[in-house]
Amino acid sequence: MPNIKSAEKRVRIIDKKTAENKAVKSKIATFAKRFKLAVENKDVVASEVAYTEVVSLLDKAASSNVIHKNSADRKKAHYAKMLEDLKKESK
């Protein structure tokens, strides 16, 4: 427990930021799951829509330092490859 007033404030701020970051990461996981499910079901149109949504969320999270930029880029590349493989397979 902090003894100083400013330390108490920092604890409140950290708790708030942690909750915000957790919500963003949870949203990314949800949309990533939707994308992977669409790829699994071999639905090209739904996969493309889900891909744009998850990439947008990853970019926003990386720009606000919720996740590292390289982590976001790595995930985007992985999802792009999944989408391209699905498109090749469906032709």
Q: What is the mean pLDDT of residues 58-69?
A: 97
pLDDT digits (tens, 9 = 90+) for 12-41: 999 999 999 999 999 999 999 999 999 999
SS3 content of the chain, % helix, strand, coil (to 5): 85, 0, 15
Whether 81 maps to a domain, the answer reads: yes
Tell me, yes or no, whether 3 lies in a domain: no
Q: Is 4 strand, coil or helix?
A: coil
The yes-or-no verdict on residue 91 having pLDDT over 80 is: no
Q: How many domains does the chain have?
A: 1
What is residue 90's predicted lDDT score, i.e. its pLDDT?
Answer: 84
Q: What is the pTM of this model?
A: 0.90
Range of the domain at 51: 28-90
| In a domain? residue 50 | yes
User: Tens of pLDDT along 34-62?
Assistant: 999 999 999 999 999 999 999 999 999 99
Identify the band that residue 1 occupies on the pLDDT scale cut at 50, 70 and 90: confident
